Every structure is written in structure tokens, then in C-alpha cells.
Structure 1
Amino acid sequence: MFVGHGKYHFAIDPPFLYLELFEGFNKEGVIQFRNAMFLEYQKYPENAIHYAIVNLTHWQLGTADSMEQGRKMFENMAMRGYTNVDYLANGNSIATFYLKKLWQDLPVKVNFFDSTEQYLSQYPERGSLIKQFSEN
């Protein structure tokens, strides 16, 4: 049995989910992450979360089978009613390339921002959700 690799922090403030990914993920790491998110989602009414904001600064992608698990998770997000996912690339152009492929043909609007600052200049009201991690 393989040990899960990949770290994450997240916060939910309906209708938003803010997520930071760290290191590389293997399949088991994605499954662990998905299970943790499922437990957290149960605390909220169905379809309470519609938007995800994902910081990619420290994400190092993952294995091919973790990408397959990621696609399944994205399909599930679409089924749960997510309408928007905003990625804060912060220089991670390789992640942007792969994520565009993984989201292809799903009914969710996916946006990529060059930096957290660019995102916050467009959506300053979402800063408190993001800043709780940057201050730790």
C-alpha cells in the first residue's frame, strides 16, 4: 500500500472554498484530500458552495494516476453545482497547462489569474478568505 503524498489547506466560507496545494500529489494523496473535503462538505447545506479559489504557488503537480483522480474530482464538483473555479497561478504555468486539460468539456467556468494580487484587484471582497493563510 502506498502512502498519500501532497499537502493542502482549505477554508470554506459559503459560497466560497479557498484551497492551497503544496508539493506533488500521488493517487492516494488525492483520495485522502477528496475524503477530507467530503467530510467538511457535510457540515454545509447541499449546494452551498459554488466557487473555488485555488492557490497554485507551491503545487508541484502529481503522478498520472493522481491527475486521473483529479479529473474525477472535477467532474464531481460540476455535479455538486460549482459554477466557477479561479486559479491563482503565481508563476506555476505548468500547472495551468495541465489544469486546463483536466477541466476541458466540464460545465464550470475556470479562470486563471497570473497572481494573487491580480485576483484581489478584481475581487477585493475575497481577500479576507485568502489572507487567513498568508498570515500564518
Structure 2
Amino acid sequence: MFTVHGQWQIDITPPNVFVNLVGAFNCEGMTALEQEARQKWLNYNPGQLYGAVINLSQFEMTTSDSIEALKDYFSDMEKRGYRRIDYIGIDALSRKIINELWSQSDIQVQLYLDVAAYLSQHPSHRGAAEWLTE
């Protein structure tokens, strides 16, 4: 059995879920993240949450099983009725994965270079999560 690798923070301010991913995740880390997210989602009615902001600025996808687990987590968001997902801190690898993941979806996806670029477009979200304070 492997230990959980990766750190995350999930903040919810309806209609948005703010997720900050830090470090190198293994499959167990992605599974633990998904379990915590699902537990938090239980506090909200279907349709109450439909936007997500995911910070990948400090996220390291180091194993193929963690990438597959991440894809499962994101596809679950579509099933839950999300309409918009904003990704922050996109590098070439994450851009490729995100483009593949959402290519067949109706979800509106926006990519931002960093938190400052995101907040310039969404200033009302400043402080909605601890990491959204730049």
C-alpha cells in the first residue's frame, strides 16, 4: 500500500468550487482528493455548484496513474453539471491533458497563465480562497 502524495485545498463559495493542487500526486493522492471533494459536494444540492477554478500553478503530474485519476476527477465534474472550469497555472503538459479531456465536452474551459491573470478577469473572486489573494 502506498501513502498519499500531494496536497490540496478545496473552498466552496456557490456557485464555484476553488481547488488548489500542490506537489506531486500519486494515484492514492488523487483518490483522497476526490473523496474529500465528494464529501464536501454532499452539502450542496445538484445544480448549486456549476463553476470550478482549479489552480495547477504548483501541481506536478509525475505518474501516469495520477494523471488517469485526475482525468477521472475532472470527468466527474461534468457528470455533476459543471458548466465552466477555469484552470490557472497551465504548462505545456497540463494544456495537452486538459485539451484532450474536454475536447468532447460542452463545458466552457478557460486557461490562465497565473493567479494574477485570473484575478484581472474575475476581481470579485479575490479572497474566495486563501490562494486567491495576489
The match for 2:38 is 38
State TM-score, norm by structure 1.
0.88
Q: Quick check: which one's helix share is greater?
A: 1
What is the deviation of 1:59?
0.6
Aligned-pair CA distance for 1:134:
5.3
Compared CA separation, residues 134 and 31, structure 1 to 2 (3 A): same
How big is the shift at 1:54? 1.1
**How much is the aligned-residue C-alpha RMSD, in angstroms?**
1.7
What is the percent sequence identity of the aligned residues?
26
Given that 1:75 and 1:106 are in contact with CA atoms closer than 8 Å, whether structure 2 keeps it comes out as: no
* Contiguous gaps of at least 5 residues in structure 2: none
Contact 1:71 1:102 in 2 (8 A): yes
Q: Structure 1 pair 34/51, CA: closer, same or farther in 2 (3 Å)?
A: same
Equivalent of 2:131 in 126, 130, 133? 133
TM-score, normalised to structure 2, is 0.89
In the alignment, is the contact (CA less than 8 A) between 1:74 and 1:103 conserved in 2? no
Task: Give 1:58 deviation, angstroms.
Answer: 0.7
Aligned to 1:116: 115
Is contact 1:87-1:111 (8 Å) kept?
yes
SS at structure 2 position matched to 1:133: coil
